[in-house]
């Protein structure tokens, strides 16, 4: 009995102090008021972000065939340029291929990605563009 009474007093004091600082304190009241005030703005922002994410996914799906064809054309052009010495054209083509490779490494056309990797194994300019530092 001697231990129960101090325990209950400390428990009630802890609950009271916690209630005051967690609920009844002016700072907590002010925070709740601010959260209620900005709740509609937060909901509107979440709605807009969901719409923008959906729109971005749709645009990405529409652009995939164009991106794949651009990379395949650039890859063919790069292979043809190996017979001549045109460094500027080579840089532009390797940049196009590297941009496609980095953007679609996990979700792109696997055949095209395989061709890019095999070409990068024999072409140092393409290998540097893909695996090197991004300009």
Whether 76 is covered by a domain: the verdict is: yes
Task: Give pLDDT tens digits along the chain (135 positions).
Answer: 778 888 888 888 888 787 777 766 677 778 888 888 888 888 998 999 999 889 888 877 777 777 777 777 777 777 766 666 577 677 777 888 888 888 888 877 788 888 999 998 998 888 888 888 655
Whether 42 is covered by a domain: the verdict is: yes
Whether 69 is covered by a domain: the verdict is: yes
Whether 78 is covered by a domain: the verdict is: yes
Number of domains in the chain: 1
Whether 24 is covered by a domain: the verdict is: no
Express each pLDDT in 103-113 by its tens digit. Answer: 888 877 788 88
Residues of the domain holding 44: 32-131
Q: What is the pLDDT of residue 47?
A: 92
Whether 121 is covered by a domain: the verdict is: yes
Whether 13 is covered by a domain: the verdict is: no
Q: How deeply is 106 buried, as exposed, middle or buried, from its count of CB atoms within 10 A (0-12, 13-18, 19+)?
A: exposed
Whether 16 is covered by a domain: the verdict is: no
């Amino acid at each position: 009995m001697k231990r129960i009474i101090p325990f209950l007093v400390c428990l009630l004091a802890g609950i009271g102090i916690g209630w005051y600082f967690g609920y009844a304190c002016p700072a907590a009241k002010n925070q709740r008021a601010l959260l209620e005030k900005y709740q509609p703005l937060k909901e509107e922002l979440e709605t807009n972000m969901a719409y923008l994410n959906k729109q971005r996914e749709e645009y990405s799906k529409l652009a995939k065939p164009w991106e794949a064809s651009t990379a395949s054309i650039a890859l063919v052009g790069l292979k043809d340029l190996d017979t001549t010495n045109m460094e500027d054209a080579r840089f532009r083509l390797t940049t196009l291929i590297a941009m496609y490779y980095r953007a679609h490494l996990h979700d792109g056309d696997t055949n095209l990605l395989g061709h890019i990797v095999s070409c990068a194994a024999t072409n140092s300019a393409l290998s540097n563009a893909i695996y090197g530092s991004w300009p």
